[in-house]
Amino acid sequence: MPAPAPVPRGTRPRNRRELILAAATDLFAKHGFAKVGMSDLADAVGISPSALYRHFTGKQDVLATILARGLETARDLVLGLDLADPDPAAVAAVLAARALDQRHLPLMWQREARDLAPEAYQPLRQMVGEIGRGLTGYVRTVRPDLAGPAADLLTWSLLAVLTSPSFHHLDLPRPAHEDLLAGLVRTVLATELPATDVHSTGGPDLRIHDALAPASRREELLLQAVRMFAAHGYTQVSIEDIGKAVGISGPSVYNHWPTKADLLITTMRRGAAALAMDVATTYRLATDAADALRRLVRAYMTVSFTQPEIIGLLITDIDHLPEGERHAARRAQHDFVSEWVHLLRLDQPQLDATAARIRVHAVLSVVNDIARIAHLRQDPAMPGATETICISLLGLPRPDPGPGG
């Protein structure tokens, strides 16, 4: 939804409600719900703050309306797919076009929906469930060879690819962007997953057990803070909440952490450092660019599957960092992606730099989303299957399993 030009004060356009929604969509997507006030919305459309309340009961009402409209459109599209003639190429093209039309929606859903009251959030969550079930039905029609968990994996990977443009600002000419995204959708749908039973224990076991607690109170507080920030959002969690979670008073937390922001800063720094170390290790051990990319996929999956809350915070709460830390975190993310792009173009020199970066973002989005879906993350077969999808999206051949493989 493009942001309209502000109208002169004193005029009353018939579409003022639509102007407010368009301006709010732009402001929420750029700055985050928590940092945008009703006065900001009013300024964007050239009216007084009090005039906004003729159209909406408050900022939450504006957000809920934006999300509801976007999700309803996506749901109707998915539920309207013709399962009697499920042409993957045609469906991929339609889904890719819609994803680019609404590229603001996934980020707003993941980052902002936590700020909604339960009565506003639940109907939206139900629509998301309908979209997921509709896409699963389509995947099972196209890929009748897949069992339940494997079909779920392909569905969520498909969604991750489609939503990945929401998490970057890269653009190609619209036809080329649609073709690239549709091609990635087709790649996911066509991926042959490993013949691994759902209950297999082969491959790395990345399930989270949480059976042990840190000896250090400082580490215990950080662990609880990360979980609570990821579940409820940084702004919704207080120092008192964090202290209570470990059995101490709120003021006692300050004996270990000077401010709540220090907990978030430390979390982001550790996440960035872990990813940077994986890149450095990869360059020391890889035999060529393709091998390096496979190693990066596995390393990123290990971090994401074992620390899904930190990965989530890197996506949804980075804007709550102080300016200097925010800049450093974004630079670290950019540099991390750039190493993937560098290796991908070494392996496939014909790839355009922007197209390669879009492809890498799609891969990272798949890992991020699967890692944060508990029933998939806890399935021992999922790391190997997810790796296979990522390798396919990067255009790499599957490695030869060797004798007896």
Pairwise CA distance, residues 389 & 156, whole Å: 11
In this structure, what CATH number is given to the domain that contains residue 344? 1.10.357.10
Residue 14 has what pLDDT? Answer: 72
Could you read off the pLDDT of 50-90 as tens digits, one per residue? 889 999 999 999 999 999 999 999 999 999 988 888 889 99
> What pLDDT score was predicted for residue 398?
73
Provide the pLDDT for residue 246: 92
* Domain membership flag for residue 153: yes
pTM of the model: 0.89
Residue 151 lies in a domain: yes
The predicted pLDDT at position 2 comes to: 45
Task: Number of helices (H) and strands (E) in the chain: give both, helices first.
Answer: 19, 0
Q: Give a yes or no: residue 60 inside a domain.
A: no
Task: Give CA–CA dist 213/220, Å, rounded.
Answer: 7
Task: State residue 30's pLDDT score.
Answer: 86
What's the pLDDT at 194?
Answer: 86
* Distance from C-alpha of 92 to C-alpha of 207, rounded to nearest angstrom: 32
Q: Which pLDDT does position 279 carry in this prediction?
A: 98
369-375 own/partner pairs: CB under 8 Å, 24+ apart: 369/156, 369/157, 369/159, 369/160, 369/163, 370/153, 370/156, 370/157, 370/160, 370/304, 370/305, 371/301, 371/304, 371/305, 371/308, 371/311, 372/308, 372/311, 372/312, 373/156, 375/152
| Residue 50 lies inside a defined structural domain of this protein | no
Instruction: Output the pLDDT for position 26.
Output: 92
Buried b vs exposed e over 314-337: b needs ≥16 C-beta within 10 Å? bbbbbebbeeebeebbeebbeebb
For residue 35, tell me if it sits in a domain. no
- Per run of 10 residues, the mean pLDDT along the chain (length 405 residues) is 49 80 92 89 91 92 95 94 86 95 92 90 95 93 89 95 95 96 97 67 63 88 94 91 94 95 96 96 98 97 93 90 95 97 98 97 97 89 94 86 47
212/295 Cα distance (integer angstroms): 29
Segments in 143-234 forming alpha helices (H):
148-163, 174-190, 217-232
126 in any annotated domain: no
Domain range holding 175? 90-118+143-207+257-405
Q: Is residue 68 part of a domain?
A: no
Residue 308, C-beta contacts closer than 8 angstroms, at least 6 positions apart: 208, 230, 371, 372, 377
Does a structural domain hold residue 129? no
Q: Per the structure, how many domains does the chain have?
A: 1
> Which pLDDT score, from 0 to 100, does residue 405 have?
44
Question: Could you tell me if 321 and 329 are in contact, meaning their C-beta atoms sit under 8 angstroms apart?
Answer: yes
